[in-house]
């Protein structure tokens, strides 16, 4: 229900929101997240605590809105942002710079720890305005991969001054996002509807596989890999469709699902509960897709608050797969979809999920935290 959601108005358009990863053994819910802003005179990276966990109201709900712990100025729009570890955050900028910021938890300050200037650039790295936006960042500590408008892929290592490797003409179109499939393979999505797999063990600068949306070459903006089944990938793009891919077979998506009315900016499988997937869009909506088998029996927050729930049938090629995302076993053949923000009008640019908690950021200059996703 909406009363589980805390809003915080921040007088900045929020382009990215990310939970700080928990310490390895921690089972408690996340308590801290980072945001980045865009399209402001003075963009910032900010660290927030989720509010006063100590105060529980009469109905067991938490009190208190997110509290700003510290922030720091960022040069350019924050295009992507990922935690490298509990203290360091890697940020890709519209200027082409890639910066690692360190969060000093002892005195609650942020500092620029390391920067690769113009990691992405159009023609001449030395030109005053030659930077190309760094559109995507993914980390597997200490490794960092960045992609950009310039079609370049960079491989960095934290604490190393120069790129470990650069694939200069990886793509002739804009690369919008990147994810690790496994430690030796990455997957990129581009502005003409293609997914490309890159095997990092190969020295040649060619993708090992190319997949594409048939027909319209719809730009793809976001990608996420299923946390347990590395062959399952979800993408979203300019037409708002959600595509599910099985990269072991074929070169086309397994499912195309009607989703948003406008660009889909991010897609995330829940990291520990991947039957649940979340997407957000320019149209101001944030959808929770639930393929868990017992949808019908589950008394859940999905049915409260007059939200709309729709059931979709899958059309899928492969039947032997266990995952609900690829299955067409009729008992699993329904998916429940809930818009978690019924009346939002401006773009929802970014979301992140961890444990029972959701954080998202919008062009309405606000960040929102829901700590009871599965109440």
pLDDT at 302 over 50: no
State pLDDT tens for residues 246-271.
Answer: 999 888 888 888 899 999 999 999 99
Of residues 306 and 193, which shows the higher confidence score?
A: 193
In angstroms, the Cα distances linking 216 to 50, 88, 197, 283 are 42, 39, 21, 21
Q: Which two tokens stand for residue 103?
A: 């969060």
pLDDT at 194 over 50: yes
End-to-end CA distance of the chain: 9
State pLDDT tens for residues 31-49.
Answer: 999 999 999 989 999 999 9
What pLDDT is recorded for position 351?
98
pLDDT at 280 over 70: yes
- Find the mean pLDDT for residues 285-292: 92
The answer to whether 77 touches 87, Cβ cutoff 8 Å, is: no
**HSE of 354, CA atoms in CB hemisphere, 13 A:** 20
pLDDT at 100 over 90: yes
What pLDDT is recorded for position 355?
92
pLDDT at 219 over 90: yes
Spell out the residues 6+ positions from residue 114 whose beta carbon is closer than 8 angstroms to its own: 99, 100, 158, 159
The answer to whether 2 touches 44, Cβ cutoff 8 Å, is: no
Interior angle at CA 40, CA 369 and CA 97, nearest 5? 95
Percent of the chain with pLDDT over 70: 84
pLDDT at 308 over 50: no
In which band, very low, low, confident or very high, does the pLDDT at 66 lie, cut at 50, 70 and 90?
Answer: very high
In which band, very low, low, confident or very high, does the pLDDT at 158 lie, cut at 50, 70 and 90?
Answer: very high
The answer to whether 31 touches 23, Cβ cutoff 8 Å, is: no
Backbone torsion region of residue 155, taken as left when φ is above 0, otherwise alpha when ψ lies between -120 and 50, otherwise beta: beta
Average predicted confidence (pLDDT) for the chain: 86
In which band, very low, low, confident or very high, does the pLDDT at 274 lie, cut at 50, 70 and 90?
Answer: very high
What pLDDT is recorded for position 2?
53
- Find the mean pLDDT for residues 283-298: 76
pLDDT at 300 over 80: no
Of residues 6 and 154, which shows the higher confidence score?
A: 154
- Find the mean pLDDT for residues 4-17: 92
What pLDDT is recorded for position 148?
97
Among candidate residues 43, 55, 141, the one with its CA nearest the CA of residue 94: 43
In which band, very low, low, confident or very high, does the pLDDT at 284 lie, cut at 50, 70 and 90?
Answer: very high
What pLDDT is recorded for position 58?
57
Query: CA-CA distance, 46 to 32, in Å (whole number)?
Result: 11
- 286 DSSP 8-state letter: E
pLDDT at 371 over 80: yes
pLDDT at 94 over 60: yes
- Find the mean pLDDT for residues 289-306: 51
296 phi/psi in degrees, rounded to 5: -70, -30
The answer to whether 175 touches 151, Cβ cutoff 8 Å, is: yes
- Find the mean pLDDT for residues 61-72: 83
pLDDT at 129 over 80: no
Query: CA-CA distance, 279 to 264, in Å (whole number)?
Result: 7
What pLDDT is recorded for position 345?
83
Look up the CATH superfamily of 5-293+324-370: YVTN repeat-like/Quinoprotein amine dehydrogenase (2.130.10.10)
Among candidate residues 183, 222, 223, the one with its CA nearest the CA of residue 199: 183
Helix (H, G, I), strand (E, B) or coil at 247: coil
What is the DSSP secondary-structure string of 74-112? ESS-EEEEEESSSSEEEEEETTS-EEEEEEETTTTEEEE
- Find the mean pLDDT for residues 127-146: 91
What pLDDT is recorded for position 312?
36
What pLDDT is recorded for position 313?
34
Of residues 326 and 3, which shows the higher confidence score?
A: 326
71 phi/psi in degrees, rounded to 5: -150, 170
The answer to whether 35 touches 10, Cβ cutoff 8 Å, is: yes
pLDDT at 213 over 60: yes
The answer to whether 125 touches 132, Cβ cutoff 8 Å, is: no
- 65 DSSP 8-state letter: -
In which band, very low, low, confident or very high, does the pLDDT at 220 lie, cut at 50, 70 and 90?
Answer: very high
What pLDDT is recorded for position 303?
33
Q: Which two tokens stand for residue 188?
A: 């990129």
pLDDT at 304 over 70: no
């Amino acid at each position: 229900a909406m009363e589980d959601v805390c809003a915080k108005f921040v007088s900045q358009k929020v382009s990215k929101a990310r939970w700080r990863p928990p310490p390895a053994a921690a089972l408690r819910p996340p308590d801290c997240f980072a945001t980045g802003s865009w399209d402001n005179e003075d963009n910032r990276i900010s660290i927030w605590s989720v509010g006063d966990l100590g105060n529980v109201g009469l109905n067991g709900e938490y009190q208190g809105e997110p509290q700003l712990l510290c922030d720091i100025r960022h040069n350019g729009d924050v295009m992507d942002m990922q935690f490298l570890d509990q203290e360091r955050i890697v940020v890709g900028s519209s200027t082409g710079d890639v910066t690692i910021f360190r969060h000093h938890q002892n005195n609650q300050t942020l500092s620029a720890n390391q920067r690769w200037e113009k990691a992405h650039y159009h023609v001449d790295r030395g030109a005053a305005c030659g930077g190309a936006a760094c559109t995507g960042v993914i980390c597997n500590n200490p490794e960092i991969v960045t992609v950009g408008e310039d079609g370049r892929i960079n491989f960095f290592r934290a604490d190393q001054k120069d790129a470990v490797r650069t694939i200069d003409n990886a793509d002739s179109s804009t690369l919008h996002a990147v994810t690790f499939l496994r430690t030796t393979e990455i997957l990129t999505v581009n502005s003409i509807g293609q997914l490309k797999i890159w095997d990092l063990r190969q020295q040649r600068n060619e993708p090992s596989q190319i997949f594409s949306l048939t027909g319209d070459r719809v730009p793809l903006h976001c990608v996420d890999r299923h946390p347990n089944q590395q062959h399952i990938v979800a993408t979203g793009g300019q037409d708002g469709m959600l595509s599910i891919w099985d990269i072991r077979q074929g070169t086309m998506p397994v499912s195309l699902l009607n989703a948003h009315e406008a660009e889909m900016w991010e897609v995330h499988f829940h990291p520990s509960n991947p039957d649940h997937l979340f997407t957000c869009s320019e149209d101001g909506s944030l959808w929770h897709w639930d393929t868990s088998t017992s949808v019908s029996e589950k008394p859940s927050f999905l049915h409260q608050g007059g939200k709309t729930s729709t059931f979709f049938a899958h059309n899928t090629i492969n039947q032997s797969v266990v995952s609900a995302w690829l299955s067409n076993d009729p008992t699993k053949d329904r998916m429940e979809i809930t818009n978690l923000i019924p009346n939002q009008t401006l773009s929802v640019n970014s979301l992140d999920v961890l444990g029972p908690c959701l954080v998202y950021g919008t062009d309405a200059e606000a960040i929102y935290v829901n700590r009871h996703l599965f109440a």
